[in-house]
Amino acid sequence: MSWSKTFEELDAARHDRESFDCGASELNVFIQTQAAKHMQAGISRTMVLPSKERLSNQKYLICSFYSVAPSSICRETLPAQLSKKLPHYPIPVFLLAQLAVHKAFHGSGLGKVTLVKALEFLWGVNAHMRAYAIVVDCLTDSAQMFYQKFGFEILCEHNGRTRLFISMKTVEQLFI
């Protein structure tokens, strides 16, 4: 099974959510039962990378996915040299709420591809509605190491997880 070239919006009729397994039950449950509902409710958007070939049920395997949503942070959570230039009201950011790769593809570079596509997507949104940064709340130390490898920095503790961020100024350098 190989992955196709383009990410597309999650479509329950087209993408086989049941067979997705990234090894982390919270993320499996999210894509299987919550992602579509969250899109219907208008609170996040989930983009999936389907397989090139269909499964026997005629649906496409979900090789990887990411989910994004608008969010905000308080300036006090930022390092002092960044926060002093910002207003005292909530600072708009994008939340990279979920990102996972099917375990059949772990270690094949798809995590990197998926993260770059998520950043590119949010960079495109930023052209229309500005945000200061992208934040991600890490499920595990291993996830934290993955994001830090790509330039995310520690912001604060948030709901028992380590929250990382990357500024849109840094993201800009990837896409201009």
The residues binding ligand COA (CB under 6 A) are 22-24, 27, 99-101, 105-112, 138-140, 142-143, 145-146, 149
Per the CB < 8 A criterion, the answer to whether 7 and 117 are in contact is yes
CB closer to ligand COA, 91 vs 143: 143
CA dist., res. 167 & res. 95, Å (int): 12
Which residues are within 8 A (CB) of 1 and not within 5 positions of it... i.e. 6 or more apart? 51, 52, 53, 61, 63, 104
Nearer to ligand COA, 50 or 111 (CB): 111
For ligand COA, give the closer residue by CB, 118 or 171: 118
CB nearest ligand COA: which residue?
111
Report which residue type is found at 153.
Answer: E
Compare residues 76 and 106 and give the one whose CB is closer to ligand COA: 106
User: Shortest gap between Cβ of 49 and ligand COA (angstroms)?
Assistant: 11
3-state SS class at 125: helix
Q: CB of residue 95 vs ligand COA: minimum separation in angstroms?
A: 12
Q: 10 Å Cβ neighbour count for 58? A: 9
Q: Which helix (H) or strand (E) holds 103?
A: none
Instruction: State the minimum distance, in angstroms, from the CB of residue 115 to ligand COA.
Output: 7
Amino acid code (one letter) for 77? T
